[in-house]
Amino acid sequence: MYDGRKGSPSPLQQAIHLLPLAGRAAELRLTQRLAERGMTRAHLAMLAALAEHGPHAKPDLAARSGLALADALPIVADLLATRLVEVFPVHIDRRHEVVMVNAAGRERLELLHTEAAAAQDDLLRPLTRGERAQLNALLRRVCAAAERPGPGTPRAAAAPQG
């Protein structure tokens, strides 16, 4: 039986249950705003990676964007078709290419960041500016700690031997 001593009247009101709910609400708002601009989270991730880290080979861009290469290639093609990036051959045999964000891509990225901020404002509307800053700081700490291995950190399943 739940006794409520952890600061909430119900086990389902604990952060472990609330964080995924808030995450889904945030994801929905961001996805809708990006879709209104003909973009996805993958487009945003690629443009941001290129703007922040410079030109990349397609496999490296996929990895930096958190995508499998097979998923990244259509996104690169879409960004090329909308003239937000350019692709240049870099090897003497012209088989290797790098992707680079252009001025239009940087402008679109700024617009997407504005849309993300608006989605965040919508989600966090019930909070004061100070509470938003505090929530952001706490979430950064939680995320940083979650990335470090330690007690209670889920481990990858052992590979079968044989």
Q: Residue 139's domain is classified under what CATH number?
A: 1.10.10.10
Looking at 13-22, 60-69, 87-96, 109-118, which range is the least confident one?
A: 87-96
Which residues constitute the domain of residue 39? Answer: 12-146
- Per-residue pLDDT at 157: 46
pLDDT digits (tens, 9 = 90+) for 13-33: 888 899 999 999 999 999 999
pTM comes to 0.78
> Does residue 87 lie in a domain region?
yes
The β-bridge partners of 85 are 101
Average pLDDT over residues 130-137: 97
> Does residue 115 lie in a domain region?
yes
- Per-residue pLDDT at 151: 65
Is the CB of residue 30 less than 8 Å from the CB of residue 116?
Answer: yes
> Does residue 5 lie in a domain region?
no
Residue 5 above 60 pLDDT?
A: no
Interatomic CA distance for residues 135 and 44, integer angstroms: 23
> Does residue 157 lie in a domain region?
no
> Does residue 2 lie in a domain region?
no
Is the CB of residue 13 less than 8 Å from the CB of residue 29?
Answer: no
Interatomic CA distance for residues 34 and 7, integer angstroms: 37
Looking at 11-25, 27-41, 88-102, 124-138, which range is the least confident one?
A: 88-102
> Count of domains in the chain?
1
> Does residue 56 lie in a domain region?
yes
Pairwise pLDDT comparison (133 vs 161), residue with the higher score: 133
> Does residue 152 lie in a domain region?
no
Interatomic CA distance for residues 112 and 91, integer angstroms: 33
> Does residue 161 lie in a domain region?
no
**Per the structure block, which two tokens stand in for 37?**
């601009």
Nearest alpha-carbon partner for 79 in 33, 119, 120, 38: 38
* Proportion of the chain above pLDDT 90, given as a percent: 75
